[in-house]
């Protein structure tokens, strides 16, 4: 891959496409949160600076290609410093995009972690998830700041050494950039891998059917696109660094490739961070039905003990009233708030796990999954009961409505 060529038109097209596309995804995410009545949190706001940094990266690569740097072969004629105008343009763009990419990737990684907190942080501080999540947040902050300042001062304060002189001048005045580049690429991939697989063990232990667990995990793994791109860029970085100072490759074209794939990783990573939230807009109603089913399961499970107790103690007159009330509420003309018939709600509930199987914390987590992945207030209306054992009930469900 180190021998690939990248034309100025290819570089400019990437720089022109990503700002509007990634901006659209961020706008849709914020719009979806608002229309669903879900509070916009840190996981959402972090993508705004990530997008602005991507816009900066794209502006830099367009300028670099337009000025005759990116996408051009290394000139044979050099100046007295062993460099050239095209090389300086290419290296300046490389340095700028490296710094912006680190900050952008850091914001995207933190967005994933805060998104998980929205779901699995159930208010109990002393949990495995809470400790692990906070540790990862601290690691990503240190990773971002460490590599940002590492690249900023890789030649100390002699910034000219990185982009203004020859390779020999860079080697004499800077840290060993190949080691820094490989460390950044490998750690970027490893942190992406850890972040993407984080939800899996917490979803697996929830009291849901295997099919629903796989479906929910599948929604979370939509963010795996960023992992695929970080693996691709890691391979290119390692191959490029292996031949960078060998004297047998076109250095400027090699640098263009690194910049190009860095831009792709940042843009696709931001899109991947938005996909789990935007699944309602971007995929079929099958996953949406699954999420609504999870929320219905939580509702029925939380109200089931009290409902069974009341049913066993009810008088014949009370039972008659209950049947009449049930008949009124299951009228064929009755529609659920999300537009589905009562029959479709019954179909979803019929496949739910046995009541009472989930703990109170798991109930919160399954409810949070439904909310954070986009179900919002459209499919079900939630009301508080005032009971610690039954904090929420679904008042669109007929039994929950009776209970309220």
Domain ranges in the chain are 8-283, 286-403
Please state, in angstroms and rounded to a whole number, the distance separating the CA atoms of residues 124 and 113.
17
Q: How confident is the model at residue 392, as a pLDDT?
A: 37
What pLDDT is attached to residue 323? Answer: 46
3-class state of residue 382 by DSSP: strand
Residue 394's DSSP bridge partners are 382
- Residue 43 tokens read as 């996981």
Residue in 16, 81, 75 with CA at minimum distance from that of residue 263: 16
Task: Give the phi and the psi of residue 40 in degrees, each rounded to 5.
Answer: -75, 120
Tens of each residue's pLDDT in the chain, 404 residues: 555 678 889 999 999 999 999 999 999 999 988 888 888 999 999 999 999 999 999 999 999 999 888 888 766 555 555 567 777 888 889 999 999 999 999 999 999 999 999 888 766 667 888 899 999 999 999 999 999 999 999 888 888 777 766 677 777 888 888 889 899 999 999 999 999 999 998 888 887 888 888 888 888 888 888 888 889 888 888 887 776 655 567 777 888 888 999 999 999 999 999 988 887 666 544 445 555 555 555 455 445 454 444 544 544 444 444 444 444 444 444 333 333 333 332 232 233 333 344 455 555 555 556 555 554 443 333 333 333 334 333 333 333 333 33
Backbone angles phi, psi at 331, to 5 degrees: -60, 140
DSSP-derived letter for residue 1 is -
Give the pLDDT confidence score for residue 149 in this predicted structure.
95
- Residues 175 and 156: their CA atoms lie apart, in Å, by 9
Report the pLDDT value the prediction gives residue 397, as an integer from 0 to 100. Answer: 39
Architecture of domain 8-283: Up-down Bundle (1.20)
CA distance 396 to 394: 5
d(CA 345, CA 330): 11
pTM score > 0.85 for this model?
A: no
Q: Cα–Cα distance between 53 and 303 in angstroms, integer?
A: 48
Q: Buried b / exposed e across 74-97, counting CB within 10 Å, b at 16+? A: beeeeeeeebbebbbbbbbbbbbb
Point out which residues pair with 154 in neighbouring strands.
156
Q: Is 332 helix (H, G, I), strand (E, B) or coil?
A: coil
- The sign of the dihedral angle between the CA atoms of 373, 376, 381, 382 is positive
């Amino acid at each position: 891959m180190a021998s690939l060529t990248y034309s100025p038109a290819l570089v400019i097209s990437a720089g022109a496409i990503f700002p509007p596309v990634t901006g659209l995804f961020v706008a849709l995410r914020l719009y979806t949160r608002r229309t669903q009545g879900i509070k916009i949190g840190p996981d959402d706001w972090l993508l705004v600076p990530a997008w602005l940094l991507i816009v900066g990266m794209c502006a830099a690569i367009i300028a670099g290609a337009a000025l005759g740097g990116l996408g051009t072969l290394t000139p044979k004629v050099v100046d007295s410093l062993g460099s050239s105008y095209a090389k300086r343009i290419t290296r300046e763009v490389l340095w700028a995009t490296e710094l912006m990419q680190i900050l952008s990737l850091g914001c995207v990684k933190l967005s994933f972690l805060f998104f998980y907190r929205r779901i699995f942080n159930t208010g109990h501080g002393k949990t495995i998830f809470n400790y692990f999540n906070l540790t990862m947040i601290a690691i990503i902050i240190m990773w971002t700041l460490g590599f940002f300042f590492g690249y900023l001062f890789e030649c100390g304060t002699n910034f000219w050494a990185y982009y203004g002189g020859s390779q020999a001048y860079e080697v004499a005045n800077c840290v060993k950039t190949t080691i820094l580049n490989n460390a950044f690429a490998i750690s970027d991939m490893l942190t992406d891998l850890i972040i993407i697989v984080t939800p899996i063990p917490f979803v697996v232990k929830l009291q849901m059917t295997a099919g629903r667990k796989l479906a929910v995990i599948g929604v979370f793994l939509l963010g795996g696109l960023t992992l695929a791109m970080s693996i691709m860029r890691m391979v290119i970085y390692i191959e490029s660094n292996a031949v960078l100072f060998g004297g047998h490759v076109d250095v400027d074209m090699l640098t263009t490739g690194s910049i190009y794939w860095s831009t792709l990783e940042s843009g696709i990573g931001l899109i991947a961070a938005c996909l789990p939230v935007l699944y309602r807009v971007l995929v079929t109603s099958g996953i949406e039905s699954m999420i609504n089913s999870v929320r219905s399961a939580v509702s029925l499970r939380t109200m089931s003990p009290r409902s069974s107790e009341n049913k066993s103690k009810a008088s014949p007159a009370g039972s008659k009233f209950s049947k009449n009330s049930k008949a009124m509420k299951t009228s064929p003309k009755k529609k659920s708030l999300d537009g589905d018939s009562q029959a479709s709600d019954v179909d979803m509930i019929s496949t739910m796990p046995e009541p009472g199987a989930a703990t109170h914390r798991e109930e919160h987590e399954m409810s949070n999954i439904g909310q954070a992945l986009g179900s919002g207030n459209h499919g079900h209306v939630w009301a508080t009961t005032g009971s610690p054992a039954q904090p929420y009930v679904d008042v669109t469900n007929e039994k929950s409505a009776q209970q309220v």
